[in-house]
Structure 1
């Protein structure tokens, strides 16, 4: 900034100046100096410029602060037309409780004593809910008095003990809160619909991949007892046999040799026996006692040979009644031993071009179905080679792979369900074995179940999905899935007042703490918190939850509740 100052000159003009002569009428001319400018320091000028630049920002901050103050003290609502125009509230309608969405005179929260007071709720440690109706039946919003039976309490106890369930915070403040509506129309406009609490069946299970396999305890691999040539086959794949049925005839020279040796051994034994009987009376007289001892030793040796050869024939599947044939001799003995392995086979069924002494019968060790056959007539087979496989397919095994974290829930005797891939029917079985090992790659535990298969619809190595049923409850309590809400500290449903339809009765719902269980097909099992006969909000739950949170925050409410 600068200031310009002017002062008159006191010096007369020079005398020799042409302009020094003037007329008396003219004013005397004066010489005027140039104006003088005075400037403030540059630092002061910069400070003034900065202050001027801050003025808009300060104005904006002050304005925002004033707006925040107003919003905080007026619930962030614009002033009503009545307050701006000065009109009275009575001219436009009754006073309105903005916190609870009803007229102030009808607000059951802001007007204590309008209806009965809410019950004081405590957290039930046994069932994990606030205000448990199982332990406090008076809290149930039912038309008639509800009483939990011993079976009901036991059912809930078993369900809670089965595995870890969803939990509620003991410090939650939402349970017991009443959500009031001004009228039935207000409930309808809010989109709130209701459904009753019902009982129905729920099945809680562990899902796992499964495979059908033959029951190894009812399966057998049939092999020939000796090397030989296949002479006749009596069965084919798919045939059912009983234990002991003849499957095949095998021509074995070893069997013929042992039968011949047995005939000779029995003949020697019979001769030795006769010798002992003849010289025993003469021992010590005409016959020396040593001779008797030698005869008796020969008899014992002959008897041992008979037993040894009979044992070798038994190893070939030829079982001989030694005590019976010892009494035979001659041709009877020979025929009995030759045909000892052909019992139950008709003569016409025997091949005509084979030595009967060489025949070995291969029979079924158990009852079942022939599922495989790997030989033909005339084939030379070795001892121990697999010829037939017999399986009793009326019972099969279900091999399940249960996740390791769920294996501890499985126990012997639990029911299992199996659905083969591409099929719709379910097959039921029972857990019979649980592995003690965990697969290091899949982190699963093998669980085996036995399934009935009388209709033969389950086949070996069929894949599908299996379930181990942990709990099958036909009396479970269910509500719609949309009825269950989470308020940040626990699970809630909104239960309608039991006296909802009484005339002049306020219309409200009560927030109820619940313990969810199994979820299935749009329904949720409630282990504790609601009881049959109560009615819950099935839709519009978001509206009720929003009002619940607003009530808990106390927005705009000055009633002190």
Structure 2
């Protein structure tokens, strides 16, 4: 039987950026719990569960009849207050014309002036009640305070809802703003120090891949780093901002993120399939000029563009077995076919790096 044939290639030499890896979860950039500002009976639900809604869009209506009646009563109060003020002004004007004839006491003039002032105050109070009742009528139509994806309705027409402070009010639904979307993650103290020394700051580009993706297709920027480490876990909380124009990224999704950890370095890369495992050792099979196979202990780096970075244990001129590894073993003789290592074509980026206005939260220095 002849010697087996294997394919060999020298490692690909490339200038790469070193990355640190993190695991995190996507979150809504803004999340609102929708609660009524007036109490009453729900008369209509004006959206489909789970649809995208626009800011200001009507979502629920509450029976407005009692609030419209209260508004009409307040408007009548304004008319009464105006009438009282007009009468008070007329009485004061008549009294002032009689002052020259000493037909009116000064105390009576003072009383009439006080009555005018009181009537003006009563009119202002009545007008304020009209504005308040008008707001109550306006609040019987519950509108979206922001654009985003709405959850399911928690109440149906016919249900009574209650206004109140905070969580005491009835929850109607929630709205999540998901473009852009946040990616939150925790980093160890060591990785935090490494990022600090590398100059990572708000606006630093990050790359993210989802659980079913092999490539880092989603681009974003570092948006926030907390102002201290958690003394219990020794980690620091951070966040990236990712554009999500097609709303594919959903709050709650997990992802793997990488953050540049330093300057570009020259590296050797080989196909992931060329790396062999022997218990805890990572090996590459190399073939010398006489066709003899040898195993090299190597230290692995990250996967970049589908190729594995080899940190140590490999020389640029080594001929690495990239195909036919199952037919080669250390000490055996093989025939070789020379090929070249080329990275697979990159997947298209799902988004461009985010370029939004600066935010108050920055990387702690």
Q: Do 1:399 and 1:448's aligned partners in 2 also have CA atoms closer than 8 Å?
A: yes
Aligned to 1:284: 96
Which residue of 16, 20, 27 corresponds with 1:202? 16
Aligned to 1:308: 128
Deviation sequence 1:277-331 (CA, Å, 0-9, x none): 4234313345752453143123223223224314533663x5xxxxxxxxxxxxx
**Cα distance in 1, alignment partners of residues 221 and 162 from structure 2:** 40
Are 1:212 and 2:26 counterparts? yes
Q: Do 1:479 and 1:525's aligned partners in 2 also have CA atoms closer than 8 Å?
A: yes
Which residue of 458, 464, 469 corresponds with 2:249? 458
Aligned to 2:182: 397
**Cα distance in 2, alignment partners of residues 197 and 420 from structure 1:** 27
Are 1:273 and 2:88 counterparts? no
Counting helix residues as a fraction of each chain, which structure ranks higher? 1
**Cα distance in 1, alignment partners of residues 71 and 225 from structure 2:** 49
**Cα distance in 2, alignment partners of residues 539 and 240 from structure 1:** 56
State the SS of the aligned residue for 1:413: coil
| Change beyond 3 A, Cα 1:261–1:536 | same
- Residue 522 of structure 1 and its aligned partner are, at CA, apart by 5.0
- Residue 406 of structure 1 and its aligned partner are, at CA, apart by 0.7
**Cα distance in 1, alignment partners of residues 308 and 44 from structure 2:** 64
- Residue 524 of structure 1 and its aligned partner are, at CA, apart by 5.4
| Change beyond 3 A, Cα 1:292–1:369 | same
Aligned to 2:35: 223
- Residue 242 of structure 1 and its aligned partner are, at CA, apart by 2.5
State the SS of the aligned residue for 2:93: coil
Q: Do 1:212 and 1:459's aligned partners in 2 also have CA atoms closer than 8 Å?
A: yes
| Change beyond 3 A, Cα 1:228–1:207 | same
- Residue 220 of structure 1 and its aligned partner are, at CA, apart by 1.6
Taking the TM superposition and a 5 Å limit, the aligned residue runs for 1:242-253 are 242-251=54-63
Q: Do 2:70 and 2:133's aligned partners in 1 also have CA atoms closer than 8 Å?
A: yes
Q: Could you say which structure has the larger radius of gyration? A: 1
Which residue of 358, 379, 385 corresponds with 2:159? 379
Which residue of 197, 200, 218 corresponds with 1:427? 218
- Residue 260 of structure 1 and its aligned partner are, at CA, apart by 3.5
**Cα distance in 1, alignment partners of residues 247 and 65 from structure 2:** 41
Are 1:295 and 2:115 counterparts? yes
State the SS of the aligned residue for 1:469: strand
- Residue 537 of structure 1 and its aligned partner are, at CA, apart by 3.5
| Change beyond 3 A, Cα 1:363–1:537 | closer
- Residue 370 of structure 1 and its aligned partner are, at CA, apart by 1.4
**Cα distance in 1, alignment partners of residues 113 and 82 from structure 2:** 17
**Cα distance in 2, alignment partners of residues 237 and 260 from structure 1:** 36
**Cα distance in 1, alignment partners of residues 222 and 230 from structure 2:** 19
Counting strand residues as a fraction of each chain, which structure ranks higher? 2
**Cα distance in 2, alignment partners of residues 480 and 370 from structure 1:** 46
| Change beyond 3 A, Cα 1:480–1:432 | closer
Aligned to 1:413: 203
| Change beyond 3 A, Cα 1:522–1:374 | closer
Larger RCO of the pair (alpha carbons < 8 Å, separation 6+): 2
The unaligned stretches of length 5 or more in structure 1 are 1-192, 319-340, 342-358, 482-515, 527-534, 541-561
Taking the TM superposition and a 5 Å limit, the aligned residue runs for 1:363-374 are 363-374=143-154
RMSD: 3.4
How many residue pairs end up in the alignment?
Answer: 261
State the SS of the aligned residue for 1:458: coil
Taking the TM superposition and a 5 Å limit, the aligned residue runs for 1:177-188 are none
Which residue of 141, 162, 174 corresponds with 1:361? 141
Q: Do 1:261 and 1:309's aligned partners in 2 also have CA atoms closer than 8 Å?
A: no
Q: Do 1:265 and 1:302's aligned partners in 2 also have CA atoms closer than 8 Å?
A: no
| Change beyond 3 A, Cα 1:522–1:430 | closer
